[in-house]
Amino acid sequence: MTVELPEVPREAEVRLPAHETALIVVDMQNDFAHPDGALFVPDAEKSIPRIRALLEGARAAGARVVFTQDWHAEDDPEFAIWPRHAVAGTWGAEVVEELAPRPGETRIHKLRYDAFYGTPLEHLLRLWGVRRVVVAGTVANICVLHTAGSAALRWFEVVLPEDATSALTPFDLAAALRQVSFLYQGKITTVEGVKFA
């Protein structure tokens, strides 16, 4: 079966007031983005320089930075779906060294794909006066999509730089971009297109 992909609109530039914007870096952890990780996503490792550029822009402008981390118990029921990964406190659960959070930057330990589910993320964003989120990281059609969708359902404006987002297959990435753009009215752009002001 051949599936025709609908056209996904892209924005050449998206200007974001830094004081109302948070960059959410999704699950760039050793188990996903390091070759020795339990669920290594090769494109996640390749996206590290792009995400680093986003971090530099957000930090320089004074935007909030949030890192999400899968954070599982030893007997997490999710291991019936996926092999054991991102067990709390292990090397695999830590953010890759190249993107290490700075002191004072927020880490959200999440139990499921959606970074809002069972976490204080929405509460923190509201306290900070955030209205827009830039979502990047891995995996595009899993934790990135669920986090972006959950943000949109809470009326945060969503921006997704596709070159800072990775997936297991090109189809999975395309499907995630389509959903963010069409269903959640998010803006798809590139790292260069994200302008923190």
Mean pLDDT calculated for residue range 147-162: 98
Q: Report the amino acid identity of residue 115.
A: A
60 in Cβ contact with 196 (< 8 Å): yes
Mean pLDDT value across the chain:
97
Q: Is residue 6 part of a domain?
A: no
Residue 71: count of CB within 10 angstroms of its CB: 19
Residue 156: domain span = 14-196
Percent of the chain with pLDDT over 90: 97
Find, among 100, 96, 97, 70, the residue nearest to 83 by Cα: 70
Q: Is residue 20 part of a domain?
A: yes
Q: Is residue 156 part of a domain?
A: yes
Residue 20: count of CB within 10 angstroms of its CB: 16
Q: Report the amino acid identity of residue 127.
A: L
pLDDT in tens, 50-82: 999 999 999 999 999 999 999 999 999 999 999
Domain count, the chain: 1
Q: Is residue 18 part of a domain?
A: yes
Query: What is the reported pLDDT for 59?
Result: 98
145 in Cβ contact with 112 (< 8 Å): no
Q: Is residue 5 part of a domain?
A: no
Query: What is the reported pLDDT for 91?
Result: 98
Q: Is residue 46 part of a domain?
A: yes
- 34 CB contacts (<8 Å, ≥6 apart)? 40, 45, 96
| CATH label of the domain that carries residue 128 | 3.40.50.850
Could you tell me the pTM of the whole model? 0.97
Q: Where are the alpha helices (DSSP H) in 24-165?
A: 30-33, 42-46, 48-61, 121-127, 145-153
Q: Is residue 82 part of a domain?
A: yes
Find, among 68, 197, 192, 182, the residue nearest to 132 by Cα: 197
Residue 98: count of CB within 10 angstroms of its CB: 14
Q: Is residue 76 part of a domain?
A: yes
Burial (Cβ within 10 Å: 0-12, 13-18, ≥19) of residue 59: middle
